[in-house]
């Protein structure tokens, strides 16, 4: 995908138009990832913007050989959101974090600006099995390790990789 | 390598989720460059996860607020070098002023030292002048004392022949056999010539040289002390060639005066 590579290079050279394109591509996903961790609309709005400004200021540190650009921002976002949940002020304001998974948020989101295909996603995502929901929640949204995920699900670590693959295959059938 | 088996292993899903080591990431990046199927698979996984997360987002935030924030931060970044420049300009200006100040102070010091030297040498010159004046005064006093002494004979020497407007005076102290010749009435000796003083006895007329006045032209008061142990009856002054003569050249006899009987 030569276009994305060029865009990322221009972004690294502080091209603000390239930055805007990348932002439009990924900001909503990152917003979702952050919100799924902090569960607070105002805080996630602010955090998501912090994540992109951090990416802009540290653009030099990204290299395509280290991973996908999307994955790089995803990592920054998860770390920033988890740091936020560990902060004292956050803990005081959120005594009990909602234990719902991303699927519950999707189901609860009642947004009129949603595209029509989102309705389809909302409908299908709930059809994912509990194990798929948990694996995607942990490995992707929360960034837990395979070992941590396997322990939570009480399944062998060796099966995590293929199970995750199967779950994402199902997801692909729904969203693509 | 079996690309399909690799894809089926599930490693690419972990790759997109950011679950792999740096080395694994590097390997997969290289494989995506070699095998388009692998790259396609990665893109499909990424798109699916990205779309899923979009559905979790509580709202959409436009790029404008980001742009404002990075504009603000870039403004702050721009201000820093300006501040630095200002400080550095001030520093340079201060050092230039300091350099000028030092140069000025050094210059002033040199001028003052020169002034001190000038004043010192002027002082030394004045001291020499004072010394000279004191010596002159002492000499003059001695001279005056000599001339005023009781047993001094004063003999006026009148102008002779062509030289009637010249004159001289001899003060003769017989006690110490010294004459003091006041030759202010004589002109300076011309180049190659010298004044010669003669003691004369009249019967018969016998001149005896008392010597030449070699320093006549340079002497200030034109008074010369000359030893004289002759029984002089008259004194004469002639202009002679340099070195003096055995006998007076009578044509060049400027002044002559006869010693009167004891006063």
B161 and B130 assigned to the same domain: no
Domain boundary (B86, B116, B148) is at B148
Domain boundary (A60, A93, A126) is at A93
B158 and B233 assigned to the same domain: yes
Interface residue B64 vs chain A (CB under 8 A):
no
A119 and A56 assigned to the same domain: no
Give the span between the Cα atoms of B100 and A49, in whole angstroms: 54
A43 and A125 assigned to the same domain: no
A106 and A89 assigned to the same domain: no
pLDDT value for B263: 44
Interface residue A70 vs chain B (CB under 8 A):
yes
pLDDT value for A48: 95
Residue B235's DSSP bridge partners are B199, B257
Domain boundary (B39, B56, B73) is at B56
pLDDT value for A86: 87
A21 and A76 assigned to the same domain: yes
Domain boundary (A63, A93, A123) is at A93
Domain boundary (A30, A62, A93) is at A93
Q: What is the domain-level CATH number for residue A120?
A: 1.10.10.10
pLDDT value for A112: 47
Q: Which of B10, B17, B54 sits opposite A29 (nearest CB)?
A: B54
Q: Could you give the number of structural domains in chain A?
A: 2
CB B73 within 8 A of CB A54: no
What is the residue range of B114's domain?
Answer: 61-148
pLDDT digits (tens, 9 = 90+) for A47-88: 999 999 999 999 999 999 999 999 999 999 999 999 998 887
A87 and A115 assigned to the same domain: no
Residue B207's DSSP bridge partners are B200
A85 and A119 assigned to the same domain: no
pLDDT digits (tens, 9 = 90+) for B21-69: 999 999 999 999 999 999 999 999 999 999 999 988 888 889 998 888 8
pLDDT value for A114: 52
pLDDT digits (tens, 9 = 90+) for A127-147: 888 889 889 999 999 999 999
> How large a percentage of chain B has pLDDT more than 70?
94
* Residue B69, in any domain of the structure: yes
B46 and B105 assigned to the same domain: no
What is the residue range of A43's domain?
Answer: 2-93
pLDDT digits (tens, 9 = 90+) for B91-100: 899 999 999 9
pLDDT digits (tens, 9 = 90+) for B177-233: 889 899 889 999 898 999 999 999 988 888 999 999 988 888 888 888 898 888 889
A167 and A112 assigned to the same domain: yes
Q: In the numeric block, which tokens belong to residue B48?
A: 């699916």
pLDDT over 80 at B104, yes or no: yes
Residue recorded with tokens 């679950």: B19
Average pLDDT, chain B: 87
Q: What is the domain-level CATH number for residue B236?
A: 2.60.40
CA–CA min distance B109, chain A (Å): 58
Q: Could you give the number of structural domains in chain B?
A: 3
CB A7 within 8 A of CB A18: yes
Residues in A touching B66 (Cβ below 8 Å): 19, 23, 49, 52-53, 56
Give the span between the Cα atoms of B263 and B254, in whole angstroms: 26
ipTM score here? 0.90
3-state SS assignment for residue B219:
coil
pLDDT value for B49: 94
Residues in A touching B47 (Cβ below 8 Å): 175-176
A7 and A72 assigned to the same domain: yes
Mean pLDDT for the stretch of residues A79-108:
76
Interface residue A119 vs chain B (CB under 8 A):
no
Domain boundary (B133, B148, B163) is at B148
CA–CA min distance A63, chain B (Å): 10
Q: What is the domain-level CATH number for residue A16?
A: 1.10.1740.10
Give the span between the Cα atoms of B243 and B193, in whole angstroms: 8
Q: Is A109's CB within 8 Å of B58's CB?
A: yes
pLDDT value for A3: 84
Question: In this predicted model, which residue has the larger pLDDT, B226 or B81?
Answer: B226
B217 and B133 assigned to the same domain: no
Interface residue B121 vs chain A (CB under 8 A):
no
A19 and A83 assigned to the same domain: yes
Q: Which of A53, A109, A161 sits opposite B10 (nearest CB)?
A: A161
- State the pLDDT confidence band at A110, using cuts at 50, 70 and 90: low
- State the pLDDT confidence band at B82, using cuts at 50, 70 and 90: low
Burial call A28-49: b when 16+ CB within 10 Å, e when fewer: bbbbbbbbbbbbbeebbbbbbb
* Residue B122, in any domain of the structure: yes
* Residue B201, in any domain of the structure: yes
- State the pLDDT confidence band at B73, using cuts at 50, 70 and 90: low
pLDDT value for A111: 53
Q: In the numeric block, which tokens belong to residue B224?
A: 């010369």
B189 and B164 assigned to the same domain: yes
């Amino acid at each position: 995908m030569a276009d994305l590579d060029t865009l990322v290079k221009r972004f690294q050279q502080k091209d603000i138009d390239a930055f805007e394109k990348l932002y439009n591509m990924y900001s909503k996903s990152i917003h979702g990832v952050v919100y799924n961790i902090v569960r607070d609309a105002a805080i996630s709005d602010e955090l998501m913007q912090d994540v992109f400004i951090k990416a802009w200021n540290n653009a030099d540190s990204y290299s395509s050989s280290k991973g996908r650009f999307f994955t790089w921002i995803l990592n920054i976002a998860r770390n920033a959101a988890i740091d936020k949940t560990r902060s004292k002020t956050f803990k005081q304001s959120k005594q009990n974090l909602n234990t719902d998974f991303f699927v519950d948020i999707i189901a609860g989101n009642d947004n009129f600006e949603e595209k029509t295909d989102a309705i389809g996603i909302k409908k299908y995502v709930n059809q994912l099995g509990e194990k798929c929901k948990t694996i995607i929640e942990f490995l992707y949204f929360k960034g837990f390790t395979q070992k941590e995920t396997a322990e939570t699900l009480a399944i062998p670590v060796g099966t995590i990789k293929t199970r995750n693959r199967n779950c994402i295959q199902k997801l692909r059938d729904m969203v693509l | 390598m079996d690309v399909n088996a690799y894809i089926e292993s599930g490693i690419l899903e972990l790759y997109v989720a950011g679950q792999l080591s740096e080395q694994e990431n590097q390997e997969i990046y290289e494989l995506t460059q070699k095998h388009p199927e692998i790259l396609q698979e990665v893109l499909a996984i990424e798109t699916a996860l990205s779309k899923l997360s979009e559905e979790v987002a509580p709202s959409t935030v436009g790029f404008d607020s980001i742009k404002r924030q990075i504009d603000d931060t870039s403004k702050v970044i721009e201000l820093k070098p300006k501040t630095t420049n200002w400080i550095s300009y001030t520093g340079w200006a201060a050092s230039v002023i300091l350099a000028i100040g030092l140069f000025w102070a050094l210059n002033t010091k040199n001028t003052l030292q020169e002034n001190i030297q000038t004043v010192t040498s002027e002082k030394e010159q004045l001291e020499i002048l004072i010394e000279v004046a004191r010596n002159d005064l002492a000499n003059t006093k001695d001279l005056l004392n000599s001339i005023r002494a009781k047993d001094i004979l004063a003999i006026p020497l009148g102008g002779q022949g062509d030289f009637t407007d010249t004159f001289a005076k001899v003060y003769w102290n017989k006690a110490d056999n010294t004459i003091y010749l006041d030759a202010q009435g004589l002109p300076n000796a011309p180049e190659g010539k010298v004044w010669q003083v003669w003691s004369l006895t009249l019967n018969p007329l016998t001149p005896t040289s008392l010597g030449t006045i070699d320093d006549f032209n340079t002497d200030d008061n034109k008074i010369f002390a000359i030893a004289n142990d002759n029984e002089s009856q008259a004194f004469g002054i002639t202009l002679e060639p340099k070195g003096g003569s055995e006998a007076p050249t009578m044509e060049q006899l400027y002044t002559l005066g006869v010693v009167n009987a004891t006063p």
